[in-house]
Amino acid sequence: MREKTKIAFLLKNERKLLGLTLKEVSEKIGFKHYQTLSNIESGKRGIKAWELSKLANIYNRDIDFFLKPKEEKKEAKVLWRNPYENVKKKKIERIFLNYCKKYKNLLNLLGESEQENREFILHINKNDLLNQNSFEYVTNLASHYSNLLQLGSRPASSLVKILEEKIGVKIIHLELDPGISGGSTIGDFGMAILINANDAPWRRNYDLAHEFFHLITWDIFSPEEIDKKDKYGKNRVEQLANVFASAFLLTEYELKNEFRKRVKNNYITYLNLIDIAREFDVSIEALLWRLVNLNLLKKEQVINELEKRIIKDFDKLYKHRDWKGEKPYLSERYISLAIKAFQMGKISKARFAEYVGKKYSEVSSFLKKYGYNESEDYSIEYGIA
């Protein structure tokens, strides 16, 4: 197959994989008529360098994917909470993996060492994860990790920063549809987690802890084991991830202390429970199940209350009243690295715009938002005394 024909085949295949029409892609690239793209895909017309670069960007592929297909490495697999595949999820997956590669590239450009400290990865026994005492084992594992990472009394407040800076987990926030809470992966770029920026902070915290469990057990469970459901329709591995997330974010000593402070005459009110959930920045449901596991609330009572939905609706109303709805954008650390690379001349303004997902004309205002002025020189170095 000739070079032009190979590129044409790959371009057509990528467009179809992502469920895009000739018209949609033509509008994105700026062709006046979709027939131009159709001719490129059929090999009737050659493709210009700038056109290939733009199409690679639209399909979230490196340009070498089309120029050197034989050298393209196997794509990392993303583990989704819901294994159901669709075109929309494929698009998200491609964008996520592309940002992971850019994240790694920024670290390389700046000569910053990748923090993947193996001392923070504990040995986990698969048999212990699957025996009858597995919930207790996972709870203890979460406690060990909380102490090892020095997350403090309110883990949710520092979790993103600790995972990125201590372990080197690349955390990317993208605006996703409802029902897609996120996913995780491990590739040439290291460990990475995708979180739905549209979710409330307490939901994002929980999903982050949940996906962290999947990363630390990545080599233990096969995708089939993770997706497998028992006769009751429950997924064992996902249950373990939930137990881990709850114990990780709600440390036993601190939670018991906050709980007991609010108990009056052997009762605790809805408002007090919601106060605790907000204190730890988790959902009321996560809190209730953690309290059940600590034998502070009765399981039957919690099930009954959750089925009635009164406390969940009350919690939602109470929390959303105080939540301003600010959404995280990509990753603070990733953006910081991109700004540093741009200011030091490691990447051009056009490449910076691509890296942060903004238009070229938006770069100046984007930089100002983060406290930088495009005209200032930040590359000045100072000698050490």
Model confidence band, residue 193 (pLDDT cutoffs 50, 70, 90): very high
Mean pLDDT, rounded, for 359-371: 92
Which class would CATH give 3-71? mainly alpha
Residue 93: burial class (beta carbons within 10 Å; 0-12, 13-18, 19+): buried
Query: pLDDT class for 102, splitting at 50, 70, 90?
Result: very high
> Could you tell me the strand order of the sheet in which 78-80 lies?
78-80, 182-187, 190-196, 170-174
238 close to 226: Cβ distance less than 8 angstroms: yes
Give yes or no for residue 379 having a pLDDT over 90. no
Q: Is the pLDDT reported for residue 15 higher than 80?
A: yes
Query: Which tens digit of pLDDT belongs to each residue from 206-256?
Result: 999 999 999 999 989 887 788 887 767 778 899 999 999 999 999 999 999
H helix runs in 20-68, sequence order? 22-29, 34-42, 49-58, 64-67
Give CA–CA dist 56/61, Å, rounded: 5
Listed in sequence order, the residues at least 6 apart from 152 whose beta carbon sits closer than 8 Å to its beta carbon are: 158
pLDDT at 207: 93
CA dihedral 111, 112, 118, 124 (to 10 degrees): -110
What is the Cα–Cα distance from 245 to 286, expressed in whole angstroms?
Answer: 9
Q: Please name the residues in contact with 9: beta carbons below 8 A apart, sequence gap of 6 or more.
A: 1
Residue 295 sits at φ, ψ, to 5 deg, of: 60, 35
Query: Between these two residues, 122 and 57, which has the higher pLDDT value?
Result: 57
86 vs 156, higher pLDDT: 156
Give the residue carrying structure tokens 């915290």.
Answer: 205
Label residue 366 left, alpha or beta by phi (over 0 means left) and psi (-120 to 50 means alpha).
Answer: alpha
Share of the chain above pLDDT 90, in %: 43
Among 190-199, 203-212, 292-301, 320-329, the minimum mean pLDDT is found in 320-329
Among 130-139, 218-227, 253-262, 279-288, the least confident range: 218-227
Give the residue carrying structure tokens 């930040």: 378
Q: Residue 344 in contact with residue 378, Cβ under 8 Å?
A: yes
Strands (E), the chain: 78-80, 170-174, 182-187, 190-196
How many Cβ atoms sit within 10 Å of the Cβ of residue 74? Answer: 7
Residues 22-67 pLDDT 10s: 999 999 898 988 899 999 988 888 888 888 988 988 888 888 888 8
Domain extents for the chain? 3-71, 75-334
What integer pLDDT is reported at residue 304 of this predicted model?
86
Q: Using an 8 Å Cβ cutoff, are 283 and 277 in contact?
A: yes
Q: What does the pLDDT read at residue 41?
A: 87
The pLDDT, as a whole number, for residue 3 is 66
CA–CA separation, 358 and 349 (whole Å): 11
Find all residues with CB under 8 Å of 209, minimum gap 6, and list them.
155, 159, 244, 245, 248, 249
The pTM assigned to this predicted structure is 0.85
- By DSSP bridging, strand 190-196 and strand 78-80 are unpaired
Contact by Cβ (8 Å): 29, 58? yes
How does the average pLDDT of the chain come out, rounded?
86
